[in-house]
Amino acid sequence: MPEGHTIHRLAADHAEWFGGRAVRASSPQGKFSDGAALVDGQVLSSAEAHGKHLFLGFGGVGWIHIHLGLFGKYAVGAGTAPPPTETIRLRLVADGYADLRGPTTCALITDPEKQAIHDRLGPDPLRPVDDGEKAWARVSRSRTTIAALLMDQKVIAGVGNVYRAEVLFRHGVDPYRPGRDVSRREWDAMWADLAVLMREGVRLNRIDTVRDEHTPEAMGRPPRVDDHGGEVYVYRRAHLPCHVCGAEIRTEALAARNLFWCPGCQPA
């Protein structure tokens, strides 16, 4: 489930459930036993997100750096934690509990190591201090397709396969267009739109991108049924008719990821 909105939501949830409190930390799976032992009993002083990276701060002990990758999942809840299972990499318990499974990364890091991660990430539409200027500098000079650039975390942090497909659709941009052929106006609009969409994603904890006039209710069509769970225009809608123009949604693999777009609304 993890695009940037998921991680920002997790940071907020951790701040709410564990912030300022001493937490119990454990690694039922065993793969993070050493780190959990060092953090156990410490106070969670901050929880930050940058793109798809989550940082949990424990004062002098350092930071737990978490990246969910493709499979990683969090189960955060109130009350008593369920009996631990052997796939839980990290369990935090205070007033509530947070169980982490299947992450690409779960490691204890220092301040400089954390800074190095920030340094190699591009601006994040969900971080108030970030803006699209640095991203535009890269995009506007690149011959790489805009679809690939949007997925490059050094260019823009937090966008994944769903937001990529959806933002390109919403702005009528062909995914194969080279970055340098995207106009300033188009980029600014996409950046601003991503900030709105992703903030909504944090709030709802899912990705919804359809405008009011294209919702299932407004269009008299059945709601989307998909394990991804959000209302979208093109993501995983291959061969179905476009909600706007009726053309058949196309799909193609690009750099090992499935790309989805509407040839009618996003002409080459």
| Residue matched to tokens 């106006």 | 185
Whole-angstrom Cα Rg for the chain:
20
- The correct pick among 153, 175, 210, 265 for binding DNA (CB under 7 A) is 153
2 is catalytic: yes
β-pairing verdict for 53-58 and 62-67? antiparallel
Q: Is 25 or 151 the residue whose CB approaches DNA more closely?
A: 151
- The correct pick among 2, 28, 62, 123 for binding DNA (CB under 7 A) is 2
Q: 3: closest CA among 95, 58, 72?
A: 72
Counting contacts by CB under 7 A, is residue 155 touching DNA?
no
| Contact partners, residue 200, CB within 8 Å, separation at least 6 | 208
φ and ψ at 160, to 5 degrees?
A: -120, -165
- Neighbour-count burial of 191, counting CB atoms closer than 10 A to its CB (0-12 exposed, 13-18 middle, 19+ buried): buried
Q: Is 101 or 138 the residue whose CB approaches DNA more closely?
A: 101
52 is catalytic: yes
Window 226-255: residues binding DNA (CB under 7 A): 227-229, 236, 255
Strand partners, 25: 92
Counting contacts by CB under 7 A, is residue 204 touching DNA?
no
Q: Is 71 or 137 the residue whose CB approaches DNA more closely?
A: 71
Counting contacts by CB under 7 A, is residue 89 touching DNA?
yes
Half-sphere exposure of 48 (CA within 13 A, CB side): 18
Q: What whole-number distance in Å separates Cα of residue 51 and Cα of residue 254?
A: 21
Counting contacts by CB under 7 A, is residue 212 touching DNA?
no
Rounded alpha-carbon distances, angstroms, from residue 32 to 149, 216, 248, 258: 33, 44, 47, 32
Window 21-50: residues binding DNA (CB under 7 A): 29, 31
Q: Is 151 or 210 the residue whose CB approaches DNA more closely?
A: 151
Counting contacts by CB under 7 A, is residue 118 touching DNA?
no
Q: In the bound complex, what is the minimum distance in angstroms from residue 205's beta carbon to DNA?
A: 10
The 69-88 contact track toward DNA, x by CB under 7 A, reads: xxx-x-----------x-x-
Counting contacts by CB under 7 A, is residue 209 touching DNA?
no
248 is catalytic: no
- The correct pick among 42, 161, 209, 266 for binding DNA (CB under 7 A) is 161
Identify the helix (H) or strand (E) that includes residue 9: helix 4-18
Question: Cβ(84)–Cβ(28) under 8 Å?
Answer: yes
Q: 187: closest CA among 219, 155, 162?
A: 155
Q: Is 44 or 250 the residue whose CB approaches DNA more closely?
A: 250
Active-site residue numbers? 2-3, 52, 257
- What is the contact surface with DNA in residues (CB under 7 A)? 1-3, 6, 29, 31, 51-52, 67-71, 73, 85, 87, 89, 101-102, 104, 151, 153, 160-162, 207, 227-229, 236, 255-258
